[in-house]
Amino acid sequence: MIDIEHLSKHYPSPRGKPQVILEDISLQVPAGSITAVVGPSGAGKSTLAKCISLLEKPSAGRILVEGIDLSTLSGEALRRQRRLIGTVFQSAALLQRKTVWENIALPLQWLGVVPRQIRSQVSQLLESVGLTDKAAAFPTQLSGGQQQRVGIARALALNPKVLLADEATSGLDPQATQSIIELLKRLREEYRLAIVLITHEMDVVRQAADAVAYIEKGRLTQFGQIEHLLSRADSTLTDQLFPLIPLASSKPIEVSLRYSDKMVTFDWISRLGQQGIAVDILAAHLENIAGCLVGRITIAVESSPQFNADHFVDQLRQWGLHLDHPLPLTVLKEAG
């Protein structure tokens, strides 16, 4: 597992006041799980990736992998412990004159691992990433997705405990992206990896991540399991993870709801109809994440003298649904 505690990164400034890039970042990624790190451009995601991989030394805070504080190490001790972290970047950065097999073997050869062990380990890694038949191929003979698989295999060559994937699916076509997502999900279990997935692609977050950390202006503003974050009314991730494009409706009341409860009543729309409340579904974006149906749905309902807004809201909550926003004041006044 990796545990980041109160990490900050400042750079000197000509004006004397340090430039703050990251401030007091704390998050934990257990073994066998994937945590996505998201946020707007310039939020500090890339700097966080450099700090995690120890390409940049944090100005403050700690980075612990399996209980070892890497941020206090230097020299040979740091080089040795950095093997606990494998890194995959947007570009696989393969050596073009070396074969797939040779690219994966490089870290092992650099460490002086005996040839017999290299052969065994590279063969196992090729099988893990599904490229056994490409061992003798050169990078130019591979697709973008296959090259990224080679990069992942090379990152795993030294048996790391943490895999840092920095925009690893960016620039890939949808089919290649899906294959990398499925590979990462399988590898986290096969190797018990703690995977930190830095990305701007919300589709990747929904499909791959167990938890998500949102960084804005260098600060961690939200962190937790996706289904838990979606149940919070103040979560800024809901709109980004589950975007909606509502249709037009003649019904005057529009309500945006969140599916974020494991016990959502499956026939809640029918139940509203049985009470004489006609419903139009304007938009919906629902997915099964970690065995829980989560997402958003926008509906429109008729307003009538019999419509009781308080009762309507209470029923939705009892059925496991949460309002994204309070009902419009005009509806509440009419209902009162």
For residue 263, give the DSSP letter. Answer: T
3-class secondary-structure state, position 4: strand
Quick: pLDDT tens for 136-170: 999 999 999 999 999 999 999 999 999 999 998 98
In this predicted structure, the answer to whether residue 332 has a pLDDT above a threshold of 50 is: no
Give 233 or 165, the one with higher predicted confidence. Answer: 165
Q: What is the dihedral of CA 256, 262, 267, 271, to 10 degrees?
A: -70
Angle among Cα 327, 222, 265 to the nearest 5 degrees reads 45
Over residues 173-202, the mean pLDDT reads 93
CA distance 113 to 79: 16
Positive or negative, the CA dihedral 305, 310, 315, 317 is: positive
In this predicted structure, the answer to whether residue 287 has a pLDDT above a threshold of 90 is: no
Lowest model confidence (mean pLDDT) among 93-102, 179-188, 236-245 = 236-245
DSSP string, 45-105: HHHHHHHHTTSS--SEEEEEETTEEGGG--HHHHHHHGGGEEEE-SS----TTS-HHHHHH
CA distance 131 to 125: 9
% of the chain exceeding 70 in pLDDT: 93
At the topology level, CATH places domain 242-335 in Alpha-Beta Plaits (3.30.70)
pLDDT-derived band of residue 216, with 50, 70 and 90 as boundaries?
A: very high
In this predicted structure, the answer to whether residue 98 has a pLDDT above a threshold of 80 is: yes
Over residues 198-204, the mean pLDDT reads 91
CA distance 208 to 290: 10
Res 305: pLDDT: 67
Domain parsing of the chain, residue ranges: 2-230, 242-335
CATH dotted code for 2-230: 3.40.50.300
In this predicted structure, the answer to whether residue 187 has a pLDDT above a threshold of 90 is: yes
Quick: pLDDT tens for 23-72: 999 999 999 999 999 999 889 999 999 999 988 999 999 999 999 999 88
Q: How do beta strands 2-11 and 19-29 pair?
A: antiparallel
Averaged confidence pLDDT in the chain: 87
In this predicted structure, the answer to whether residue 334 has a pLDDT above a threshold of 60 is: no
Over residues 116-138, the mean pLDDT reads 95
Could you tell me if 22 and 56 are in contact, meaning their C-beta atoms sit under 8 angstroms apart? no
Give 261 or 203, the one with higher predicted confidence. Answer: 203
pLDDT-derived band of residue 233, with 50, 70 and 90 as boundaries?
A: low
pLDDT-derived band of residue 322, with 50, 70 and 90 as boundaries?
A: confident
Please choose, from the candidates 139, 200, 145, 144, the residue with its C-alpha nearest in 3D space to the C-alpha of residue 167: 200
3-class secondary-structure state, position 145: helix
**Considering the entire predicted model, what is its pTM?**
0.79
pLDDT-derived band of residue 331, with 50, 70 and 90 as boundaries?
A: very low
- The residues pairing with 256 across neighbouring beta strands, listed in sequence order, are 298
Res 323: pLDDT: 83
In this predicted structure, the answer to whether residue 117 has a pLDDT above a threshold of 90 is: yes
